[in-house]
Amino acid sequence: GAGAMAAALSRVPEVEIDGGGVFKYVLVRVRAADGPGKDVVRGHGWAEYHADLFERTAEELAQQGLVCECLGGGRVSHRPEERKIHVYGYSVGFGQADHAVTTEKLKAKYPDYEITWADEGY
């Protein structure tokens, strides 16, 4: 029921990104059926296209009864040795994610990092 859905939603990590490098990311709204949603960040170097990231995420979460909608994409430059993350760019297919939202979520996961974003760049 709704309780189980809410529990499944609460278990979805807000941020999953690679430990370093430059890679594409997507901002995804995850919802339980008819329920509230939350936005999550997924960024990985294996993805050639933003759609690859979104489809993998949607498939995994569909198994838990959760519905996904892609809010846009961009790129992440993650430099762990400098404790810096920069969010920029856009997705041709999904449009540009709200990098400000992404940045806030990254700050929550990496509180000791300097995290910046810019609208320009690809």
Q: Domain residues of the chain, as ranges?
A: 2-118
Q: Which CATH class is domain 2-118?
A: alpha beta
- The tens digit of pLDDT for each residue in 14-65 reads 999 999 999 999 999 999 877 789 999 999 999 999 999 999 999 999 999 9
From residue 67, give the alpha-carbon distance in Å to each of 4, 27, 31, 71. Answer: 14, 14, 5, 13
Is 50 known to be catalytic?
yes
For the entire predicted model, the pTM comes to 0.94
Other residues' Cβ atoms within 10 Å of the Cβ of residue 115: 20
Q: How far is Cα of residue 34 from the mean position of the Cα atoms in its chain?
A: 22
Cα angle 99, 63, 33 (rounded to 5 degrees) comes to 70
The active-site residue out of 50, 78, 86, 99 is: 50
- The tens digit of pLDDT for each residue in 76-94 reads 999 999 999 999 999 999 9
105 is in an annotated binding site: no
